[in-house]
Amino acid sequence: MTSPAQAFDLQGHRGARGLAPENTIPAFETALRIGVTTLELDVAMTKDDVLVVSHDSYLNPEHTRGPDGEFLKKQGPAIRSLGFDELQRYDVGRIQPGTAYAARFPTQRGADNVRIPKLTDVFDLVQRNGADHIRFNIETKLTPTSGADAPDPETFATALTKAIQDAGLTSRASIQSFDWRTLMVARRIAPQIERVCLTIETPGEDNIGRNLPGPSPWTVGLDIDDYGGSVPRLVKAADCTVWSPYFHNVTAALVKKAHGLGLKVIPWTVNEMADLELMYQTGIDGIISDYPDRARAALPKGIAAPKPVSVR
C-alpha cells in the first residue's frame, strides 16, 4: 500500500532555490535534509554533449561569476557553446547584489566555488546517501525558438532518457517541459518514463495560445481550441500523465476535471504560506516550491511529510 508521504509529491524546486544556490549540489543537499519526495531540476547540454543542471540555456549574470571572480556584466555564452571543462570555470554559488533575483530570494545562503553540476552528479548524490525513495523531476530547457542555443528535441530527449535508464532510475524519474517536443520524443523512445506537461497562461507568458489561429508552437501541433478550451484535455491528448500548471492557473474545478481524465496535478512554483494552503485545498497531487520547508509546514493533517535524509 502506498504511504501518504509517497502519495503526495512534495518537490524541491531547483533543489531549494529559496534557501541555497539554485540547481547546485548545495541546493539538492538542502532539500534532502529538509525532506522532499522529489528533486525538481532543469537540464541543459554542453558543446561536448554533457547533460548539466541549469535553468538557463546561457550563463545568467544574476548568479554567475567568471574566472576573475567578478559577476558577469551581461548575459554570458550559451551553455551549448561551451565544453564542460570551460563551464567549470564559472561560479554559480552567489546572487549578484542589487538584482531582482537578490530581492526575490533574500534568504538564499550563498557559497563560493560552486559549479554547475552534471546531471549524473545529482543522481550520485542521492545514491551515495542511500535515498532510494527520492524521485527526480527533470525539465528539458528549450523553446520553439532556441535554435543552436539548445540541442534539438531528438538529441535532447535521447540523451536524457539514456541517462535516466543508465542510472537505473526509469521508475523514479519524470521528464517535464513547456516545449512538448521533447516529451513526444521521450514517449516514442522510452514510454515507461513518466512525462509531465508544463503549462502557463498569463499576459506575459503563455504556452497554450487559446483563441489564436492554429496551435501554439509549444504544444506539438495540438490546438487548445480543438479541445473545448480545456487544458486538462489538451494535456491528456499529449499523452502526459501529469499536468503541472502555474499555480495561479489552478482551480479546484480544473483539478477535478484533470483527475477525471486520469491526470495527476502538481502546480508550480508555490512559495507563500497562504498560497500553499490554498493550493492544498484544491485537491492537488503534489506541489513544487522553492521553500520545501514551508511546503512541509503547510501540509494538511493526514498527509505525512517525506522523511529527511542525513546527507553525508
Residue 158, amino acid: T
Average pLDDT over residues 99-116: 98
Q: What is the pLDDT of residue 128?
A: 97
Give the predicted TM-score (pTM) of the model.
0.97
User: What domains sit in the chain, N to C, each tagged with a CATH number?
Assistant: 4-297 (3.20.20.190)
Reply yes or no on whether the pLDDT at 4 is more than 80: no
Q: Is the pLDDT of residue 6 over 60?
A: no
| Number of neighbours of residue 159 by Cβ within 10 angstroms | 18
Strand locations in 141-181 (E): 173-177
User: pLDDT tens-digit profile of 109-151?
Assistant: 999 999 999 999 999 999 999 999 999 999 999 999 999 999 9
Return d(Cα 92, Cα 65) in angstroms, integer: 6
Residue 294 pLDDT more than 60? Answer: yes
Q: Is there a contact between 276 and 289 (Cβ–Cβ < 8 Å)? A: yes
Q: Report d(CA 310, CA 312) in Å as an integer.
A: 6
φ/ψ (deg, to 5) at 56:
-95, 145
